[in-house]
Every structure is written in structure tokens, then in C-alpha cells.
Structure 1
Amino acid sequence: MGKKFSAGEKASIVMEGLSEKIKLTQLCNKYQISKTQYYRWKKKFINGGIENLKDCRKSENNITKQLERLNTTNEKLHIVVELLKEKYSTGELRRIVAKLAEEGFSVSEALECLGMNKSTYYYQKIRI
């Protein structure tokens, strides 16, 4: 496994290659990288600058922290949904489903989020 380069170091290497003051083969030998690696960095740099050269791989610790945040958010959203179900009538929940559908949810997804049965959503009282 070769040296790990920071985004700044990668950008410097790409800029050095773009300056054409050194042949690509010499540049790659100097930094002990392959031409393929250089071209990958160059493409990323051109498409998104130095920000695009950052190592996006997450450490296991970061993934664990992110998962904990998601679980906490999920628990909070569950509480909100339970409060919505208690506070709003079936008719009002139907309007919320319609609003969620306008935002890109399928009716099934919206019903699942609100914990509402399809039969309750589609039921229409027959007036006599």
C-alpha cells in the first residue's frame, strides 16, 4: 500500500503535471503513483476542485456515530408521528397524506410513515 496523500498534496501533484514542466512518467515516479492514479486525481480535480480530492471513506467510528444520530432522529420522528396520530382526525391525516404525496411520497409510503391503514385511508362513509 502506497503513501496516503492529502487533498492538498493531490492537488499539488495534479497542478505540477498540468504545468508540463516535468514529464508525466517522471512525475509519477517522483511521487510513486501510477499514471492511472494521476489521471483519476486529475479528473476529480477538474470536475470538482480540491474538495473532490478528499478521501470520502468513512472510518468505522464515524459510521457508528452517524448510525447513532440516525437512530436518535428516527426515534424523535416516531414520537412526532404518534403525536400527529393522536392530535389529528382521520380526515386531517388524509390531507397530510395528500401533502406528502405532493412532496414525492407514494400514498403507501405516506400511510406507512403515519401508521395509517390503507383501508382507513380509502374508507368513505356512506351517507343515507
Structure 2
Amino acid sequence: MVKKTNKKLIKEVRRNTRQVYNAEQKILIVMEGLRAELSAAELCRKYSISKATYYKWSKEFIEAGKKRLSGNETREATSEEVKDLRRNTVLKESLADLVIRYDIVKKAYICWINPST
């Protein structure tokens, strides 16, 4: 009875204190593994991950690379990316308008200062 509760407690502590890796960290770990400076076992110990997790990340990384290189996949833009692109377009148009106005004012000023030109 005591052993079961201890095992459950240990599992719960491990689950709650487990490291959660974001996509960039996963890529860095997989890239480190691809450089083959450390064995897969050493790499897994270093980052406290299981071999199965490491190999799963590696497979996902390679599969994603294949899809991107094949060119058959069209990536869907997120709504945030679309908003950013629209905002960039508006900013570019505003900047172009300001540059044109600046040139007009500059030419008018030069003609006012030096009427012979």
C-alpha cells in the first residue's frame, strides 16, 4: 500500500515538474543531435528527455523539411500575419505619400530660394 502511494506521488511530481520545450528549443536539440557531437543517449540525458521523444522530434523535423522543400505544400497564413501584411502595406503607402510630398515641398523651397532654377 505504501509503495503504491509512493510510486503515484513520484509519478505526479515528475508529471508536474516536467520541462516543456517550445518549438525553437526542440529544433535546437534536434540540430545538436544531427551534428553528432553527442550520442542520442547523452543528448537525452543532457536535456532530460526520453529517446522516444528525441526520435519523434527528429522525425517531425525531417518530415517538415521534406514538405517545405517539396514545394507542394501551401502554407496558410494566420490572421495575425494577414493583419501585419495589411498594416505594412498601409505604412508603405503612407511613407511613399510622405516622400512625394517632401520632394514637392523641397522643389518649391528651392524655387523660392533661388528663382533662377
Q: Please indicate the TM-score interval, normalised by the length of the shorter structure.
A: 0.3 to 0.5
TM-score if structure 2 supplies the norm length? 0.42
TM-score if structure 1 supplies the norm length? 0.39
Which of structures 1 and 2 has the bigger CA Rg? 2
More helix by share: 2
